[in-house]
Amino acid sequence: MTRSFPASFLWGSATAAYQIEGAAAEGGRTPSIWDTYSHTPGKTLNGDTGDVAADHYHRWPEDIAIMQQLGLQAYRFSISWSRVQPGGRGPLNAEGVAFYRGLVEALVAAGIRPVVTLYHWDLPQELEDEGGWANRETAYAFAEYARLMARELGDAITVWTTLNEPWCSAYLGYASGVHAPGRTEPAAALAAVHHLNLAHGLAATAIREELGEDAQLSITLNLHVIRPDDPSSEADQDAVRRIDGLANRVFLDPLLGAGYPQDVLDDVAHVSDFSFVQDGDTALIAQRLDVLGVNYYSTTRVRAFDGEGEPEQADGHGNSSATPWVGTEGKVEFVQQPGPYTAMGWNIDPQGMHDLLMRLHREHPGVPMMITENGAAFHDVVSADGAVRDRDRTQYLHDHIDAVGRAREDGADVRGYFVWSLLDNFEWGYGYDRRFGVVRVDYDTQQRVVKDSGWWYAQLIATGSLPAHDAIAPGPVHPR
């Protein structure tokens, strides 16, 4: 049976500022924590940085033209905070604002809806110097920046996403240190969790104050699908509960009005007493969510640590020697997942997409969802004719979009899908070595070539129903 989607379903692609823009020191932009981190020797693969990236800052008209050619209906991008408000406080930088103004106007003119993310991990360095997300003041600075952006771009933006994947910002940034700012302070990571939640609530409030109740507010979470190694083991089920608390419920519960889960507070009591939560914070965080952004790539498998030897940490999600799972040391093991795997080492499990959407549907009915990221890195090969026949990526997209369609048919209110990513880009700690784009970027020439997966996606958008994974119609600039 062919899976089909209603005409109202929004098809888009996603990117993030630091991963594609380049022009790191142009137009008045000042460094973010990712500039500092990527320029620190040993932090990224091959010492790669986002200095040039996909040069989108200069090539955005071409990138919009490609989106148009693919028939994309929406584009999720992020604003570089330090480009529009250098240092993260004080007056706006007119040149930086003009860049995004030009971008959103051109998108709207091209019939592509701008879905903006205000924070995709690139905190202005000055704010990190004052404590970063471990400092409550950062949440207030973020809300002020959100308010200013609402004033500047409010007429053109379809959806305002406050934060992208606060799990990564908090735990990878402040506990395992495999992301900027590279700190390994478990208590600070928990403070960061709370200040990110608070930043979301304050920013949502500020945007609604500026734009009224009709402004569409969202947050994007990388919710984890956690499988017990032995489903019949109570101890393994408890390991799932712990990780679910830290990965999912510590965000979902306060955002959706239930406050912090007591079991999580108990689990991490030896690390933090959560005294950073002030009176009134719970209400501030729980602002109405018009749409929940869901990023999904793969699943996680855990079991209770039996106390023998070193706990296994084998899941390709940065759970190596330094674990981001605050307070679970000596209690939980991460177990190698069954394959197949992408070039990230992440297991491919489309059923996980269905499981996640159905869980959210069950536990939080009435909250519409959009898949704000899904996609796969593979080591692409450019054929002699210049084409990229990325069957593996197309298969991945096919199977995951099929799972989204199945979840919709089973009742989940999913309203859109954004492929990660439009372009090959700077994949954080993995630099330029991992390619997620449906459009190839040749980093020597900055030439863009639509991959077969991109043409396949264009076919899906044009027809509203899922083409076979190997059905690639020739595209207008790539006739074959």
Catalytic residues: 165, 373
Q: Residue 427 or 452: which CB sits closer to ligand FCB?
A: 427
- Decide whether 305 or 418 has the Cβ nearer to ligand FCB: 418
Residues 1-40, mask of contacts with ligand FCB (x by CB under 6 A) = ---------------x--x---------------------
469: left (phi over 0), alpha (psi -120 to 50) or beta: alpha
| Of 269, 261, 233, nearest in space to 363 by CA | 261
Q: What is the signed CA dihedral for 129, 133, 134, 139, rounded to 10 degrees?
A: 110
CB of 445 to ligand FCB, least distance (A): 23
Q: Which is nearer to ligand FCB, 139 or 168 (CB)?
A: 168
* Residue 369 β-bridge partners: 292, 414
Contacts with 356 (C-beta within 8 Å, 6 or more apart), sequence order:
223, 225, 294, 296
Smallest gap from residue 238 Cβ to ligand FCB (A):
27
Length of the chain, in residues: 480
Rounded to the nearest whole angstrom, what is the least distance from the CB of residue 344 to ligand FCB in the complex? 7
The 417-446 site mask, x for binding ligand FCB (CB under 6 A), equals: ---x------xx-------x----------
Interface residue with ligand FCB, options 80, 82, 164, 328 (CB under 6 A): 164
Closest CA to 410 of 376, 448, 477, 362: 362
Of 50-58, 162-170, 235-243, 278-286, the segment contacting ligand FCB by CB under 6 A is 162-170
The site for ligand FCB, by CB under 6 A, has a size of 12
What is the C-alpha to C-alpha distance for residues 78 and 93, in angstroms, rounded to an integer?
17
- Identify which of residues 178 and 240 has a Cβ nearer to ligand FCB in the complex: 178
What is the nearest approach in angstroms of ligand FCB to the Cβ of residue 444?
Answer: 22
CA neighbours closer than 13 Å in the CB half-sphere of residue 377:
16
86/429 with CB nearer ligand FCB: 429
Closest contact distance (angstroms) between CB of 297 and ligand FCB is 7
Q: According to CB under 6 A, which one of 315, 373, 380, 392 is a site residue for ligand FCB? A: 373
- 371 bridge partner residues: 294, 417
What's the min distance (Å) between Cβ of 107 and ligand FCB? Answer: 20
Q: Please list, in sequence order, all residues whose beta carbon lies within 8 angstroms of the beta carbon of residue 128, skipping any fewer than 6 positions away.
A: 33, 36, 181
Span from 145-153, 163-171, 179-187, 284-292 in contact with ligand FCB (CB under 6 A): 163-171
* Candidates 161-169, 225-233, 326-334, 395-403; binding stretch for ligand FCB (CB under 6 A): 161-169
The radius of gyration of the chain's CA atoms, rounded to the nearest angstrom, is: 21
Closest CB to ligand FCB among residues 80, 164: 164
Tell me which residue of 308, 12, 309, 6 sits closest to 158, measured CA to CA.
Answer: 12
Which of 93, 117 has the CB closer to ligand FCB? 117
Selected binder of ligand FCB within 222, 347, 395, 459 (CB under 6 A):
222
- The nearest distance, CB 171 to ligand FCB, in angstroms, is 12
| Closer by beta carbon to ligand FCB, 30 or else 222 | 222
CB 27 within 8 A of CB 99: yes
x-marked contacts with ligand FCB along 100-139 as a string, rule CB under 6 A: ----------------------------------------
Q: Is 165 in the site for ligand FCB (CB under 6 A)?
A: yes
CB of 108 to ligand FCB, least distance (A): 24
What type of residue is 395? Q
Smallest separation (angstroms) from ligand FCB to the CB of 364: 21
Give whichever of 55 and 427 is closer to ligand FCB, judged by the CB atom. Answer: 427
| Interface positions with ligand FCB (CB under 6 A) | 16, 19, 164-165, 168, 222, 295, 373, 420, 427-428, 436
